Copies of this chain bind each other. A is one copy, B any other.
Amino acid sequence: MTRTFDIAVIGATGSVGEALVQLLEEREFPVANLHVIASGESAGSSVPYKGKNLRVKDLETFDFSSVRLAFFAAGSKVTQKYALQAGAAGCAVIDLASGLPVAQAPRVVPEANAQVLAAVASPYVLTSPSAPAVALATVLAALPEQIKIRRLTVTACLAVSSRGREGIAELARQTAELLNGRSLEPRLFDRQMAFNVLAQVEQTDSEGHSRLERQIAAEIQELLVIPTVHVSVTCIQVPVFFGDSLSVSLQAESSIDIKQVYAALDSATAVELVELDDYPTVVGDAVGQDVVYVGRVRAGLDDPAELNLWIASDNVRKGAALNAVQLAELLIKHYL
């Protein structure tokens, strides 16, 4: 008989939390009791799971000693406030909001650095990195070993769902207002998001980088275990509901064999390679999928040691919920 586990999903009413609950069902995760948890205002609503409607419980009064593993998908402040309490109660934690210090909660993408799991110890606290980093690490880890990356330049075009349900509602509302000739009133975003591209996602610091740009650079260095690689990241917000698109240019130490790159990406399980006469996009390809799409694979125009790629990935599913569930699967297999 398969062992089963009592599980909690914190932030179960958000878009990532909802995808997480759905993936636990789809992947037949060995759940005994599933507790769907949210902060005060959402408590009392319900979340569908295996044909039932699970009542959402209030985070404030939840007893973490009643579960073996908790997913934290409710923002970094919630993780910071409750994850230690969960760990002290003997509950393993997977944080999707990067709320914990890296030394306490290593970042893991199974396709890139699953070896890190060999060194984790009780209470088993892991971080599922940001969605762009999950997509990028999945593809870069699938490249031929011969490619030694020296520098990575990434422009990440983020969907409005990176801002949760509010981002989705805001783009829909703004678009309808503009098409109906009504005047536009931005609320969540600081200006018009419909039919526009915003040059940054949230605030930047005194040096001009956003928190997410710094985070993605650090995540990639940790996930690929090459702390010396130069990473340049620009995160922009595009008028797309779901799915992140990444324009990637990398410089390697020596000439790259493009045929070898094709063969390696083609054989990677978590990657779907789209060949040259076609290209992947988020709508129609990546959204709703468990794999990361990669296309426009090409050398530099004038530099054979340069490799250019286009990556399309479902930010909510593959970039967040699925990666977290995969981490949980590895934890229960080896430790719990």
* A interface residues with partner B (beta carbon < 8 Å): 153, 155, 157, 171-172, 175-176, 179, 191-192, 195-200, 204, 206-209, 213-214, 217, 230-234, 236, 238-241, 245, 247, 249, 276-277, 279-284, 295-303, 306, 308, 310, 312
Contacts and interface: CB of A to CB of B under 8 A. Distances in A.
Contact of A308 (B230, B234, B301, B308): B234
Provide the main secondary structure of the chain A interface: mixed
B310 A239 contact: no
Contact of A312 (B199, B214, B283): B199
A230 to B, nearest CB: 5
> How many copies of the polypeptide does the oligomer hold?
2
Nearest to A283: B196
Contact of A208 (B176, B192, B296): B296
A230 B295 contact: no
A326 to B, nearest CB: 26
Contacts of A247: 155, 234, 236, 247
Contacts of A234: 247, 249, 296, 308, 310
A310 B199 contact: yes
Contacts of A308: 208, 232, 234
Contact of A239 (B195, B206, B297): B195
